[in-house]
Amino acid sequence: MDVNEVWSPRACTLPTAQRPLRVAEFDALFAEAATGVERVGTGRTRIRLRPGPAAAERAAGLAARETACCSFFTFTLTATGGELALDVAVPGPHTDVLDAFTGRAAAALAAAARPGGGPGE
């Protein structure tokens, strides 16, 4: 199964041609700003981001655009104590989408951590 099929279920209203671009935007956010990824419960993932207004603005913008086409996502951006976290939650029927989302975040973070890693590597 193509990762875009898992990432973009039938409930998604984003035009098919734009879906790879959205995935690439999230991949870039993960590679450039994520510092950690963890499942924090059934149907919920937390992505820790480098604290700062640029990462917060970028994550908030992506979250707003994603919920416009995939309304089953719930994104919560929390800035507290010098930390920034993006919590992503989905209802039970969409845990496969969250699994794909979490896997992409973890893969991008791992690639960025390798010497010479980063977006496009």
End-to-end CA distance of the chain: 23
Amino acid at residue number 118: G
Q: 56-83, pLDDT tens digit by residue?
A: 999 999 999 999 888 899 999 999 999 9
What's the pLDDT score for residue 40?
95
Looking at domain 18-112, its CATH architecture is: 2-Layer Sandwich (3.30)
In whole angstroms, give the CA distance from residue 96 to residue 79.
Answer: 27
Residue 55 CA to chain centroid, in angstroms? 13
Q: Is the pLDDT of residue 101 over 60?
A: yes
Q: How confident is the model at residue 3 (pLDDT cuts 50, 70, 90)?
A: very low
- Write down the pLDDT at residue 7: 54
Q: List residues bridging with 39 in a β-sheet.
A: 45
Domain layout of the chain by residue ranges: 18-112
What pLDDT is attached to residue 12? 74
pLDDT tier for residue 5 given thresholds of 50, 70 and 90: very low
CA separation for the pair 80, 23 (Å, rounded): 27
* Helix (H) or strand (E) segment spanning residue 89: strand 83-89
pTM of the model: 0.84
